[in-house]
C-alpha cells in the first residue's frame, strides 16, 4: 500500500473499509463493538479526494457483499473471520504509515485507532480456534512434534529459534499435522505460506503462519474442511503493503 500510487491506494482503502463495515454488521459478541468502532475510524482514514478505480477495490467490495449476504457469523466461522481480521489489521497499519509519510496526521491517527479496535476484535474472534489448535497440539505424539520441528527449521532457518520459543508454537505444529494427514507436503506448504509476505515484523510468527496455512487449506482441499460463508481475501490484494511494525 505504501508503494502504490495514490489512485491504487485510495481504492485499497475504500475496499478495506467496506470489508470492515461488513464484518461489523455480521459479527456478534464482544468483537462487534470493536468492529463498529474500527469501521468508524477507518472511514476517516480512507477519506480522499482522489478518484479510486481499481480491480482490487472491486474484489474487496465483492467480499464485503458476500459477508453481508451470508448473514451473522457463528463460532464455526471463527478461524476464517480471524484470518480476515488479521489482514484488515495489517492494512490499517499500512494505511497509517502512508498517511504519516504524507503528513496526513488526522488520517494516520484514525487508521491507528482502527487498527487497535481491529486487534481487539481479532483477539476476541481468534480465541476459540486458537484454543482448539492448542488442545490438538497437546495430543500430538512426540514423534510428530519432532517431525514438524524439523520442517520448521528446514523452511525457516533464520526464524526457527524465535518461532519454537513462542508460547503458542504448538498451534502451528497442530496445523502442520492436519495438513500432513490431509496428504500435503508440509515443507512445500509452509514455504508457500512463509513466502506470501515478510514475517520479521509479526508479533507471533507461529500464529501468522497458522492463518496463512488456514487460508491455503481452503484453496487446496476445500472438500475436507468447513468452507467459510464468504471467500477469504487473498493476500495478493495487499501485496503492495510495506512491512508494518510488530503486531498482535
Q: How many other CB atoms are there within 10 angstroms of residue 106's CB atom?
A: 11
**Which pTM value belongs to this model?**
0.64
Q: Is the pLDDT of residue 58 over 60?
A: no
Q: Is the pLDDT of residue 95 over 80?
A: yes
Q: Is the pLDDT of residue 203 over 50?
A: yes
C-alpha dihedral, 160 to 85 to 76 to 64, nearest 10°: -140
What does pLDDT average to over the chain? Answer: 78
**C-alpha grid cell, residue 149:** 520441528
Question: Which one has a higher pLDDT value, 44 or 58?
Answer: 44
Per-residue pLDDT, averaged over 237-243, amounts to 40
pLDDT tens-digit map of 166-178: 988 999 999 999 8
Q: What does the pLDDT read at residue 69?
A: 57
Amino acid at each position: 500500500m505504501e508503494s502504490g500510487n495514490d489512485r491504487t491506494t485510495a481504492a485499497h482503502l475504500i475496499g478495506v473499509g467496506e470489508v470492515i463495515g461488513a464484518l461489523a454488521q455480521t459479527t456478534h459478541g464482544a468483537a462487534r463493538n470493536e468492529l463498529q468502532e474500527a469501521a468508524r475510524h477507518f472511514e476517516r482514514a480512507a477519506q480522499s479526494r482522489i478518484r479510486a478505480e481499481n480491480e482490487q477495490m472491486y474484489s474487496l467490495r465483492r467480499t464485503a457483499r458476500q459477508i453481508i449476504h451470508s448473514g451473522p457469523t457463528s463460532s464455526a466461522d471463527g478461524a476464517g473471520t480471524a484470518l480476515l481480521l488479521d489482514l484488515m489489521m495489517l492494512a490499517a497499519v499500512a494505511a497509517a504509515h502512508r498517511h504519516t509519510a504524507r503528513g496526513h496526521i488526522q488520517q494516520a491517527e484514525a487508521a491507528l485507532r482502527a487498527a487497535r479496535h481491529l486487534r481487539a476484535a481479532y483477539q476476541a474472534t481468534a480465541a476459540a480456534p486458537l484454543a482448539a489448535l492448542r488442545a490438538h497440539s497437546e495430543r500430538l505424539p512426540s514423534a510428530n512434534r519432532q517431525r514438524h520441528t524439523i520442517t520448521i527449521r528446514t523452511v525457516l532457518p533464520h526464524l526457527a529459534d524465535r518461532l519454537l520459543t513462542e508460547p503458542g508454537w504448538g498451534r502451528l505444529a497442530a496445523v502442520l499435522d492436519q495438513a500432513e494427514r490431509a496428504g500435503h507436503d508440509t515443507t512445500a506448504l509452509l514455504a508457500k505460506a512463509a513466502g506470501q509476505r515478510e514475517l520479521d515484523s509479526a508479533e507471533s510468527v507461529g500464529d501468522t503462519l497458522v492463518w496463512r496455512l488456514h487460508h491455503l487449506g481452503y484453496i487446496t482441499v476445500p472438500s475436507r474442511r468447513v468452507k467459510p460463508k464468504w471467500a477469504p481475501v487473498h493476500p495478493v490484494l495487499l501485496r503492495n503493503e510495506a512491512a508494518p511494525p510488530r503486531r498482535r
